[in-house]
């Protein structure tokens, strides 16, 4: 299982949950607005790519 996690580390950057610390949210410290913006930009970019590459964008 560890080898799988090590091999997929590059995909961890694309996961939106990486940018939010559950400890900060539970403790009431909130989250970093820059990280929230980054997650929203990733969602928009992947949605646009999905729309274009599935043939619906033409």
Q: State pLDDT tens for residues 45-55.
A: 989 998 888 87
Residue 58 located in a structural domain: no
Residue 21 located in a structural domain: yes
Nearest CA-CA partner of 43 in 19, 22, 24, 10: 19
pTM for this predicted structure:
0.52
Do residues 51 and 57 touch, judged by C-beta distance below 8 A? yes
What the block records as the tokens of 7 is 């091999």
Between CA 52 and CA 6 the distance in angstroms is 31
Residue 49 located in a structural domain: yes
Q: State pLDDT tens for residues 1-57.
A: 456 666 676 666 666 666 667 777 778 777 778 877 887 898 899 899 988 888 765
Q: How many domains does the chain have?
A: 1
Chain-centroid distance of CA 18 in Å reads 7
Please report the pLDDT score of residue 4 as a whole number: 62
What percent of the chain stands above pLDDT 90? 5
**Which range marks the domain in which residue 25 is found?**
2-53
Please report the pLDDT score of residue 44 as a whole number: 93
């Amino acid at each position: 299982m560890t080898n799988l996690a090590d091999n997929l580390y590059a995909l961890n950057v694309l996961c939106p949950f990486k940018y939010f610390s559950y400890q900060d949210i539970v403790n009431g410290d909130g989250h970093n607005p820059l990280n929230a913006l980054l997650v929203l930009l990733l969602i928009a970019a992947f949605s646009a790519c999905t729309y274009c590459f599935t043939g619906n964008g033409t």
